[in-house]
């Protein structure tokens, strides 16, 4: 899944975070000419990271379920 910059707005709350200067500089380079604020870019990047973490967790859960099923099948076959 690629990261796509969106321009929509939602209700927000102020939070103070510290961002390393090299990262700030790189973000500012990426948003030049894209009609998006620094804050909105950071929000979208966080949303993207969270969505992909959830997908990673789903993949892990699926693998765990498959492994458990394989173990049960192996035990069943051993008892035949």
pTM beyond 0.85: no
Fill in the DSSP letter of residue 79: T
Q: Please return the burial class of 13, using the count of CB atoms within 10 Å of its CB with bins 0-12, 13-18 and 19+.
A: exposed
Q: What is the pLDDT of residues 14-63, one digit of tens each?
A: 889 999 999 999 999 999 999 999 998 999 999 899 888 866 666 667 77
């Amino acid at each position: 899944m690629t990261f796509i910059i969106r321009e929509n707005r939602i209700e927000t709350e102020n939070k103070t975070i510290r961002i390393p200067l090299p990262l700030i500089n790189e973000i500012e380079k990426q948003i030049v000419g894209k009609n998006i604020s620094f804050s909105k870019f950071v929000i979208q990047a966080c949303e993207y990271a969270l969505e992909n973490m959830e997908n990673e967790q789903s993949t892990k859960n699926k693998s765990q379920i498959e492994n458990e099923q394989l173990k049960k099948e192996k035990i069943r076959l051993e008892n035949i």
